Amino acid sequence: MNKVCLYLKNSEFLASLTALHIWGKETGFEIRAVCSDLDRVKQLTDNDIFDLLIVESELVNNSNYREFLFLKSSERVAHIALCGQNADFESARKGLMIGVEEYFVLPFDKRLFIDFFDGLNEHSDALTINQKSQTKGYSQRLFGLFVDRGDVKTYIDSLEKAGEVSTILDDTVSELFEKYEWLDMYFNEIDYRSESFFDSTEQSSKFLYFYDSFSALYPVHNDVLRELIEYVLFNPESDLRQKVLSEEMHINKSYLSTVFTAQTGIRFVDYISNVRLFRAGWLLKNTDMKINEIALRIEYKDVAYFSKLFKRKFGCSPSEYRLPDSYHFEI
């Protein structure tokens, strides 16, 4: 019997779902848990694997969508569906964020649920345990190449032969965002997952852009510089002048400049500019701040100079970068 968990707060949804004659032997799906708290859902999935999680749309937001992605990527839930009052753009966006496979709207239609269940039953064995293990191995290898600056492109090309490229890229992206918490200050994880693309080729191209961007922000370095680099990445809007950082990190100013360039191959002042511009890009995409406000926030008092640096870096002006279709401006 397939186990179903309901994550709902709306009593009308709960009453409507439980009243449908779709649970049990007729469909092979059975409600095993009803929760009104996400922490409870996570607690239940720590001890059991659910075949389907049905989530109330209103309970998904920008701060918790990664929790749902984790539940799915870690195979604690096999499938996720949303339910809501109506189907609109915001609901569709939430579905993309967490990788849902169906969206049900009041009044719930019994036939739609049965068709959905039939589809899940038909494809439930698409990946064997051995295939899943193999896919996990591919993603771990890709993660290692990514962090060690290996030949990521050649490896991704070879993955086309293995299949499930999108799954491998998704797993790698999730692992990267989990390990490097500062990434959330410069990139949106959802922008690099399969839900945001029409095919794996498009996703692979965006992943390679992500790899280049990661390398620019987190250049190869030794333990001496790790603390400094991570301080900068977690504080992109602070005073990052060399003199200030030298005092903050208790490092000789001249030594910092010499060692940084020797280790990373980039001048310290250029690195700081990189960090600030990537942060500006995130602020442009994710806030309604004016361009001059963003420039000041990352320590550029001259907006014209900031715009010049930004265009040199990303190939477009800050206002152009803010447009929805300007995702592919490269370094």
pLDDT-based confidence at 319, cuts 50/70/90?
very high
Residues 6+ apart with CB under 8 A from 301: 295
∠ at Cα 225 (224, 230), nearest 5°?
A: 130
What mean pLDDT is predicted for residues 33-43?
A: 93
Residues 6+ apart with CB under 8 A from 79: 51, 52, 53, 101, 120
Residue 250 backbone dihedrals phi, psi, to 5 degrees: 60, 50
pLDDT-based confidence at 140, cuts 50/70/90?
confident
pLDDT-based confidence at 117, cuts 50/70/90?
very high
Contact 134, 162 (CB under 8 A): yes
Domains of the chain, each with CATH number or no CATH: 2-123 (3.40.50.2300), 129-217 (no CATH), 223-321 (1.10.10.60)
Residues 6+ apart with CB under 8 A from 66: 177, 189
pLDDT on residue 250 = 84
What mean pLDDT is predicted for residues 259-280?
A: 94
pLDDT on residue 329 = 44
Q: Which helix (H) or strand (E) holds 204?
A: helix 200-217
Torsion of CA 224, 230, 233, 237, to 10 degrees: -90
pLDDT-based confidence at 114, cuts 50/70/90?
very high
Q: What is the mean pLDDT of the chain?
A: 88
Number of H helices, E strands in the chain: 16, 5
What mean pLDDT is predicted for residues 111-136?
A: 71
Indicate whether 24 pLDDT > 50.
yes
pLDDT on residue 38 = 94
Indicate whether 127 pLDDT > 70.
no
pLDDT on residue 109 = 92
Does the pTM of the predicted model rise above 0.85?
no
Q: pLDDT per residue over 174-202, tens digit each?
A: 999 999 999 999 999 999 998 888 888 89
pLDDT-based confidence at 134, cuts 50/70/90?
low
Task: Give the lowest-confidence range in 15-19, 34-38, 95-99, 301-305.
Answer: 95-99
Q: pLDDT per residue over 56-104, tens digit each?
A: 999 998 888 888 988 887 778 989 999 998 877 777 778 877 888 899 9
Q: Which two tokens stand for residue 256?
A: 């910092």
β 29-35/2-7 pair status: parallel
pLDDT on residue 325 = 55
β 102-105/77-84 pair status: parallel
Indicate whether 282 pLDDT > 60.
yes
Distances in whole angstroms, Cα of residue 247 to Cα of each of 32, 86, 240, 253 = 58, 56, 11, 8
Contact 141, 150 (CB under 8 A): no
Q: pLDDT per residue over 197-238, tens digit each?
A: 888 889 999 999 999 999 999 998 887 789 999 999 999 999
- The share of the chain scoring above pLDDT 90, in percent, equals 57
What mean pLDDT is predicted for residues 126-155?
A: 76
pLDDT on residue 132 = 57
